[in-house]
Chains A and B, each alone.
Chain A
Amino acid sequence: MQPRRPPPPAPGPPRPAAPLLALPLLLLAVQGAAAPTGPEAAEWRPDTGPPHGLLRQAARAALHFLNFRAGSPSALRVLAAVQEGRARINAKKECTVDLVFTTEHYNSEEGEERLGKCSARVFFRNQKPRPAVNVTCARLMEKTKRQQEDYRLYKQMKQLRNPLDGVSIPDSHGHIDPSLRPVWELAFLGSSYVMWEKTTRFLHYYMAQLSGVKQWETNDGAIDFDYTVLLHEFSTQEIIPCRIHLVWSPGKPLTVKYHCQELLAPEDASGTEEGSAVAPTELSNF
């Protein structure tokens, strides 16, 4: 591993403040920017309900946000099923979605079927990204176990030898070498922040593949690594490369800096997106 060069200055829009709630023993509450109030115009008729796609969209946004803020690569969650939901849309086409959904472990290869229940309020500002999320989930993994798993992953990362350059994770056939599995999970954690930020009322993302992984030495023992993630964007079907820089230590806040490229030809508005965040310390106590 090489010593880290001084990072370039991180540009990007200012982050909203993120007030925290007290943590009850069994529930984790994570709150993003508060949703503004305003006159609520249209609500979906009770007989039809909001489009199912909207509820899933809200669930995805909530989960990306939750995963990032929880900051634990061994306790990542994915959507199992949306159970119920309501939505309101106001005159400015801003959309508030309240929903209840179940989640599963992202990392479970052993086929464990534990489901965690979450409730969330997600606020989409018409077509703008960075939906405001307020999400509460029942704990899915016992705290000690989670800390142990995080630490195990941390040790595996520290034992990896560069160069990981030129390695694609997974490979073309979907195979991830067991020694590289921690890289994938940590990358998913960092990418969750990016995917949350980029999600809009109409666009959502999945992680397609990683490449260009480079790990740096640190003085304080943190994991510090750069990678390129290819995000698959729905519904445009575009593949968006994002360069991500992640710093993580078990039990400590996660730092993410990123730079994504939009690759359409000049006649479309193309540009780059950048952002960075640090997850608050207090959340690591759950």
Chain B
Amino acid sequence: MKWILFFGALIGPSICGREKFFGDQVFRINVRGGDEISKLSQLLNSDNFKLDVWKSPSTFSHPVDVLVPSVSLQPVKSFLKSQALQYSVTIEDLQIYHEMDNIAGEFPDLARRLKIGHSFENRSLYVLKFSTAEGKRRPAVWLNAGIHSREWISQATAIWTARKIVSDYGKDPAITSILEKMDIFLLPVANPDGYVYTQTKNRLWRKTRSLNSRSPCIGADPNRNWNSSFAGAGTSNNPCSEVYHGPHANSEVEVKSVVDFIQQHGNFKCFIDLHSYSQLLMYPYGYTVNKAPDAEELDEVARCAAKALASLSGTKYQVGPICTTVYPASGSSTDWAYDNGIKYAFTFELRDTGHYGFLLPANQIIPTAEETWLGLKTIMEHVRDHLY
């Protein structure tokens, strides 16, 4: 059983710090005997490919799951072919879940990975909870990302932020003091079915992948499905539309899971939804031009946050209420949060302003995440100082 220990030792460095998370694939490699194992260990032992063993087998007949970085895909495939090793490629969105697991594992006193539900196609909905006082129901912040699957900078920023929170706690006074008073819940992939679909079939898919009973078109817009002026302005009742609101509010299980969790918790003070693109920092309302009661304060907070964000690389964000800053949109997450007592409700539209749009180059992930973090911290500091 020596080779099992060998494999165990190979569980390599986590994927943090690398610029590219996407395009990586998980290969499930079948090993049926000693000969194949030695061929495989040759591959895994090689420094060149930077392979990361996810699941080492407990017996000979179980397959090995290996994370292959995108740059190594071709050579690894060639090697496997030349050695007649059988393999299959598993679902690609798991690397974010794996990283969440790593974070929770490395910082058990600060971070926990929670399952809050599942998607239409039965994928888990995982949230990271950051708390310095487990057991107490502290005032909390909800960070939502990836609700529109094609907005890849959103999921990427979220997982970078998760790593940032655990790395900086205890070192950066801002996040340390924030976590002394509040808990942070982070949902990096609010729409996992859509996300997998963007990686496998259609890069520009936006909605969920739920089936519609009377139409061949698939999915509802999960950011028109919340119970705030449901089916109002800026939505469509056509299932084929990108802004189809769904048959009824919370019809999308991905939305319902978040609603149920937040309502059960009952002590959320801040809700931030990350989207792309357009470089906007907005607050309610999307469903009406009428000013929200707290619009003045929210506007000030948003301006402060946009200024902090711009301080890093000069990236300019426009600030204002959703309806007049971008367009009318009913049934949005931010409006729902606000109308349900979560005063500090914001929507970010991250980089860029249309040059690359949804297809933001990977080399902009870290700069975007870094500047956004400054904006997020500004908001959370204000919440910390104005708890109600």
Distance to closest chain A CB from B201 (angstroms): 11
Assuming the contacts A174-B356, A208-B357, A265-B217, asked whether A235 and B327 have C-beta atoms less than 8 A apart, the reply is yes
Measured CA separation A239–B362 after assembly (Å): 22
B206 close to A (CB within 8 Å): yes
The answer to whether B361 touches A173, judged by C-beta atoms less than 8 angstroms apart, is yes
Assuming the contacts A235-B326, A237-B242, asked whether A174 and B362 have C-beta atoms less than 8 A apart, the reply is yes
What is the chain A residue whose CB lies nearest that of B207?
A: A237
- What residues of A have a CB within 8 angstroms of the CB of B206 in the complex? 237
The answer to whether B241 touches A173, judged by C-beta atoms less than 8 angstroms apart, is no
The answer to whether A236 touches B356, judged by C-beta atoms less than 8 angstroms apart, is no
Measured CA separation A207–B359 after assembly (Å): 10
What is the chain B residue whose CB lies nearest that of A81?
A: B316
Enumerate 6 A-B pairs (CB-CB under 8 Å) in ascending A order.
A52-B318, A172-B22, A232-B357, A235-B234, A238-B241, A264-B238
B324 close to A (CB within 8 Å): yes
The answer to whether A263 touches B355, judged by C-beta atoms less than 8 angstroms apart, is no
Band of interface residues on A: 20 to 34
- What residues of B have a CB within 8 angstroms of the CB of A106 in the complex? 355
- What residues of B have a CB within 8 angstroms of the CB of A151 in the complex? none
Q: Which 8 interchain pairs have the tightest Cβ spacing? A: A174-B361, A235-B327, A237-B242, A206-B354, A174-B359, A265-B240, A173-B362, A172-B203
Measured CA separation A174–B368 after assembly (Å): 14
The answer to whether B23 touches A263, judged by C-beta atoms less than 8 angstroms apart, is no
Assuming the contacts A53-B324, A235-B234, asked whether A264 and B240 have C-beta atoms less than 8 A apart, the reply is yes
Distance to closest chain A CB from B155 (angstroms): 13
A175 close to B (CB within 8 Å): yes
The answer to whether A208 touches B358, judged by C-beta atoms less than 8 angstroms apart, is yes
Assuming the contacts A173-B22, A174-B362, asked whether A78 and B355 have C-beta atoms less than 8 A apart, the reply is yes
What is the chain B residue whose CB lies nearest that of A168?
A: B203
Distance to closest chain B CB from A66 (angstroms): 16
- What residues of B have a CB within 8 angstroms of the CB of A209 in the complex? 203-204, 359
Measured CA separation A52–B325 after assembly (Å): 8
What is the chain B residue whose CB lies nearest that of A270?
A: B240
The answer to whether B359 touches A170, judged by C-beta atoms less than 8 angstroms apart, is yes
A230 close to B (CB within 8 Å): yes
- What residues of B have a CB within 8 angstroms of the CB of A239 in the complex? 204, 242
A51 close to B (CB within 8 Å): yes
B192-233 vs A, Cβ < 8 Å mask (1 yes, 0 no): 000000110001101000000001010001000000000000
B284 close to A (CB within 8 Å): no
Distance to closest chain A CB from B239 (angstroms): 7
B243 close to A (CB within 8 Å): yes
Measured CA separation A37–B240 after assembly (Å): 40
- What residues of B have a CB within 8 angstroms of the CB of A236 in the complex? 241-243
The answer to whether B239 touches A265, judged by C-beta atoms less than 8 angstroms apart, is yes
The answer to whether B361 touches A170, judged by C-beta atoms less than 8 angstroms apart, is yes
- What residues of B have a CB within 8 angstroms of the CB of A234 in the complex? 327
Measured CA separation A143–B23 after assembly (Å): 42
Q: Give the contacts of A170-218 with B (CB-CB under 8 A).
A: 170-175, 206-209
B360 close to A (CB within 8 Å): yes
The answer to whether B358 touches A265, judged by C-beta atoms less than 8 angstroms apart, is no
Q: Give the contacts of B1-58 with A (CB-CB under 8 A).
A: 20, 22-23
A267 close to B (CB within 8 Å): yes
What is the chain B residue whose CB lies nearest that of A230?
A: B204
Add 11 more A-B contacts to A172-B23, A172-B199, A239-B242 (CB < 8 A): A52-B318, A168-B203, A173-B20, A173-B359, A208-B358, A232-B204, A234-B327, A236-B241, A237-B206, A238-B241, A265-B215
- What residues of B have a CB within 8 angstroms of the CB of A263 in the complex? 240
What is the chain A residue whose CB lies nearest that of B358?
A: A208
What is the chain B residue whose CB lies nearest that of A206?
A: B354
- What residues of A have a CB within 8 angstroms of the CB of B361 in the complex? 170, 173-175
- What residues of A have a CB within 8 angstroms of the CB of B326 in the complex? 235
Assuming the contacts A51-B324, A173-B20, asked whether A206 and B242 have C-beta atoms less than 8 A apart, the reply is no
- What residues of B have a CB within 8 angstroms of the CB of A232 in the complex? 204, 357-358
A268 close to B (CB within 8 Å): yes
Measured CA separation A268–B242 after assembly (Å): 13
- What residues of A have a CB within 8 angstroms of the CB of B22 in the complex? 172-173
Distance to closest chain B CB from A202 (angstroms): 9
- Residue among B204, B239, B324 with the highest chain A CB neighbour number at 10 A: B204
- Residue among B204, B354, B355 with the highest chain A CB neighbour number at 10 A: B354
Which of B215, B217, B242 is within 8 Å of A238, CB to CB? B242
- What residues of A have a CB within 8 angstroms of the CB of B23 in the complex? 172-173
- What residues of A have a CB within 8 angstroms of the CB of B358 in the complex? 208, 232
Q: Give the contacts of B338-388 with A (CB-CB under 8 A).
A: 354-362, 364
Assuming the contacts A51-B324, A239-B204, asked whether A174 and B360 have C-beta atoms less than 8 A apart, the reply is yes
- What residues of A have a CB within 8 angstroms of the CB of B357 in the complex? 206-208, 232
Q: Give the contacts of A227-245 with B (CB-CB under 8 A).
A: 230, 232, 234-239
